[in-house]
Amino acid sequence: MKTSTKVLHWLPRIMCILAILFVSLFALDAFSPELTFWQQIGAFLIHLIPSFILLVLLLVAWKWELIGGIIFTIIGLGLSPVVFMHNFKMNNSVWMSLGIILSITIPFAIVGILFIVGHYRKKATYQKSKQINHENN
């Protein structure tokens, strides 16, 4: 496998893991001193539901790059207006809201695009090697 194909194989996976870890950091706000230990654990697990869903989608994308790439692209681009409007209503700042979607939703759109590009790159490489093998026989 060529170096560029290896990069396109691993880059979206690593970026997605890092983005999921970043999103998971927001679950830490579930811990509060006025809650019991079990209430804190329950709230923490509830706050981690988006991360669990993203992990399942990463497993799908790991196995089926094209399907996973489409899903991540839709999630990244589809949630951007929702996250933007929610944050704009809270802080009335276009720039802060843009910064938030650039750090939370756009990485998933980029991951999706990289999965799609990686899928087609591998497909083209496979077809090229298949054609070369066919010509040699």
pLDDT over 90 at 117, yes or no = yes
Can you give the pTM of this predicted structure? 0.86
Residue 137: C-alpha distances to residues 61, 124, 130, 134 (Å): 35, 20, 11, 5
CB-based contacts of 9: which residues, under 8 Å, 6+ apart? 1, 118, 122
Query: Where along the chain do its domains lie?
Result: 3-136
Quote the pLDDT of residue 53: 97
Q: In this predicted model, what pLDDT tens digit does every residue of 89-112 receive, in sequence order?
A: 999 999 999 999 999 999 999 999
Mean pLDDT of 38-60: 96
**Burial category of 118 from C-beta neighbours within 10 Å (exposed 0-12, middle 13-18, buried 19 and up):** buried
Mean pLDDT of 114-122: 94
C-alpha distance across the termini of the chain, in Å: 22
